[in-house]
Amino acid sequence: MVIEDTLFILWLMVAGPLWATVGLLVLPGVNQGRGEKEQIPATTLKIAGLIGGFALGPIGVGIFYFEPTLIRRTSLTLGVVLTVFLTSQVLVRVIDPNFPSALWLLLAGPLWAALAAYFIPRHYRDLEADDQNALTAAALGGFAVGPLIFGLMWKTTPKINRDWMVTFGALGAWQIYALFAIQNPTNPCVALPFAATYLTQQTANGVVIGCIYSLMAVGLTLIYSVQGVVSFAHGQLYMVGGYFSFYFLEHASYHLSELTGADISVNPIWGIPVAAFIVFIMGAVFERVFLKPMHEGLIERVSEYAILITFGFGFFLEYTTLAVAGPFPQKTDRFIQIRRFTLDRTQITDDFAFGPIHIIGDRAFAMVVGIVLIFALLYFLQRSWTGRALRATSQDRQAAAVTGINPTNMNTLSFAMGSMLAAMSGAALIPIFNWVPWVGAEMVGRSYVIVVLGGLGSVPGALAGGIIVGIVEALGAGCHPDPSRGAAYKEAFALVIFALVLLLKPTGLFGREQH
């Protein structure tokens, strides 16, 4: 361990900066010998050289030098992540654990963020500069670089694009990770040699569960984009979907066993279409009876009515399920079992293994279901007549009506389909989680986070938001110094992001402007 550590520090202290300098000097040479139109901005090349050199040494510089087309935002982001990881590894070893960085992060960071968020957008407005992203950038920057943000944004009021926010966000994340590393050097997310594996494992878990979260959030976003209504019954529809699947499987297995005399247990995948069908009809009926009058002008104060009526529907579903199914945890069989071939024997397990990374088979299966359904939905929305009509209605109701689309039917369809997607994700998750009637409350909180993060009304946004939330939850819970608290705070990490997004950028990452 000692040798390893010393080598590592040597690499970081000497080789990392060295190769970063080399990258900085060498990469601008790429532009020589390239045509007028193929020129790459010098700043981009310098940044790529710095990051590539620091994170990957000669390999990074070489790749970027010989294949400059690879200098994309994605590869640079990956480089930033690696750099963050590596530099904090140095900090762990160099800085005294009692360094008051915790104080800086906990007090000074938010303080400067609040000050910057208050003053800088006003300053932009006073100078009549474009203040579209000023608030977000100011708050993130205040957190990341403290008072320096005033120096950066006050005098020249630069136009804020996404790169600014990404940079500040990455810097802030780096600080949090560094603080973490300094305060808690033995944490599994920090201590080498396991940290890399552990972080990858957590991230993989996050991505897997995030895809499933997305499916539910996509339903919510579909309803919102067409109707402008946030469904507060979504969590309960998800829960009910799981229960429909559960009861269907139980009865089907029982009756098939009776008929054939063999012990048959139906695969839970058959529960998904059944739950989808029933909840689709439920959603359609509810929409026709309670939401349709809203669009016909029979209700005053529509947005409040929509909140309350969907909320009441969820209330009814939750207590009805409690009365019918009781408060006992239920679970169905597994989707799949995996045969792992080893040298001496064939082992049956419940997880896939990619080197040291393990992914639970059922979760992977549910992820596949989620992704397939989301892409099926996207295909439906983009290619079929009905899907196009749905999108047209979401863009402009009157114009859609003029072209012969019946907006009333589109409303019903969107609510029914959104509810159906919630039920499908419920049916896909009941083999994984213990199912109780209040399981929806936790899940729906998460899908609100996802849709707001991705932008209400955007399907790709919901997918991206789901994966982000999944990763944040997995990393947050996995890296918390106290494991039991980490698990308890799992939801809270996402909720903090949620509150921040609502306050700083209510349109989310991909959203349209708030109506």
Partner 1 sequence: MVVFRRFESAIDQGIGRRKLGYLVIVLVVLFFLWFPNDTSQSNYTKTVFISGFFYAIMSSSWALLAGIAGQFSFGHMAFMGIGAYAAGLIARDGITFALLGVSISPESISAFGSIIIGTIAAGAVGLVIGWLLLRLRAAYLALFTIAFSELFRIMMLTEYDYTGGSNGLSLRPLLQIADVDAARQVEYYLMFGLLVVCLLALYWVANSPIGLFLRAMREDEDAASALGVNVVRYKILVFVFTSMIVGFAGAIFYSDVGSERIIPEQLEILQMSLIIAYAVIGGMESLIGAAAGAFISRYLLEAMRQVVITLPFGMTTYDGSDAFVWEPGFWRFALFGVVMVFTLRYMRNGLLYPIITWFSGRDIVMKETVSRRESDDNHAARIEADDE
Instruction: Provide the token pair at 44.
Output: 């981009």
- At closest approach, how far in Å is the CB of 475 from partner 1? 17
35 vs 329, beta carbon nearer partner 1 = 329
Residue 119 engages partner 1 in binding (rule: CB under 8 A) = no
Residue 498 engages partner 1 in binding (rule: CB under 8 A) = yes
Residue 514 engages partner 1 in binding (rule: CB under 8 A) = yes
Given the rule CB under 8 A, which of 194-202, 353-361, 420-428, 489-497 is the region that contacts partner 1? 489-497
CA gap 350, 359 in Å, rounded: 9
Strand spans (E) along 65-158: none
Q: How many CA atoms lie within 13 A of 281 on its CB side?
A: 6
- At closest approach, how far in Å is the CB of 289 from partner 1? 8
CA gap 188, 474 in Å, rounded: 13
CA gap 40, 341 in Å, rounded: 49
Residues numbered 23-52 forming contacts with partner 1, rule: CB under 8 A: none
Residues numbered 264-303 forming contacts with partner 1, rule: CB under 8 A: 289-290, 293, 299-301, 303
Near partner 1 by CB under 8 A: residue from 449, 453, 459, 474: 449
Residue 448 engages partner 1 in binding (rule: CB under 8 A) = yes
In the shown chain, the binding pattern of residues 214 to 233 toward partner 1, with x for contact by CB under 8 A and - for none, equals ---------------xx-x-
CA 90 to chain centre: 29
Instruction: Provide the token pair at 495.
Output: 């909720």
Near partner 1 by CB under 8 A: residue from 112, 177, 248, 313: 313
CA gap 445, 203 in Å, rounded: 21
102 vs 492, beta carbon nearer partner 1 = 492
Near partner 1 by CB under 8 A: residue from 18, 78, 441, 509: 441
- At closest approach, how far in Å is the CB of 100 from partner 1? 15
Near partner 1 by CB under 8 A: residue from 7, 304, 337, 395: 304
- At closest approach, how far in Å is the CB of 124 from partner 1? 16
CA dist list (Å): 275 to 49, 278, 324, 343: 53, 5, 17, 42
Q: Which residues contact 188 (CB under 8 A, 6 or more apart)?
A: 194, 195, 198, 478, 479
CA gap 126, 114 in Å, rounded: 19
- At closest approach, how far in Å is the CB of 63 from partner 1? 42
Q: Which residues contact 490 (CB under 8 A, 6 or more apart)?
A: 473, 476, 477
Residue 499 engages partner 1 in binding (rule: CB under 8 A) = yes
356 vs 483, beta carbon nearer partner 1 = 483
317 vs 360, beta carbon nearer partner 1 = 317
- At closest approach, how far in Å is the CB of 97 from partner 1? 22
Residue 316 engages partner 1 in binding (rule: CB under 8 A) = yes
Torsions phi, psi for 327 (to 5 deg): -85, 30
Residue 312 engages partner 1 in binding (rule: CB under 8 A) = yes
37 vs 301, beta carbon nearer partner 1 = 301
CA gap 223, 73 in Å, rounded: 32
Residue 452 engages partner 1 in binding (rule: CB under 8 A) = yes
Q: Which of 495, 204, 208, 509 is nearest to 357 (CA)?
A: 204
Residue 491 engages partner 1 in binding (rule: CB under 8 A) = yes
Residue 506 engages partner 1 in binding (rule: CB under 8 A) = yes
Torsions phi, psi for 417 (to 5 deg): -70, -40
CA gap 341, 309 in Å, rounded: 54
The 3-state DSSP class for residue 210 equals: helix
Q: Are 179 and 105 in contact (CB under 8 A)?
A: yes
242 vs 437, beta carbon nearer partner 1 = 437
Which DSSP state fits 354? E
Residue 319 engages partner 1 in binding (rule: CB under 8 A) = yes
Near partner 1 by CB under 8 A: residue from 11, 119, 305, 433: 305
- At closest approach, how far in Å is the CB of 230 from partner 1? 4
Q: Which of 188, 217, 164 is nearest to 467 (CA)?
A: 217
Near partner 1 by CB under 8 A: residue from 1, 323, 343, 402: 323
150 vs 448, beta carbon nearer partner 1 = 448
199 vs 501, beta carbon nearer partner 1 = 501
- At closest approach, how far in Å is the CB of 237 from partner 1? 14
Q: Which of 88, 89, 44, 90 is nearest to 69 (CA)?
A: 44
- At closest approach, how far in Å is the CB of 485 from partner 1? 5
CB under 8 A, 24+ apart: contacts of 291-299: 291/227, 291/229, 291/411, 291/415, 292/408, 292/411, 292/412, 295/227, 295/407, 295/408, 295/411
CB atoms under 10 Å from CB of 287, counted, come to: 25
Near partner 1 by CB under 8 A: residue from 42, 103, 308, 376: 308
Near partner 1 by CB under 8 A: residue from 6, 39, 161, 320: 320
- Chain residues binding partner 1 by CB under 8 A are 229-230, 232, 289-290, 293, 299-301, 303-309, 311-320, 322-323, 438, 441, 445, 448-449, 452, 485, 488-489, 491-492, 495-496, 498-499, 502-503, 506, 514
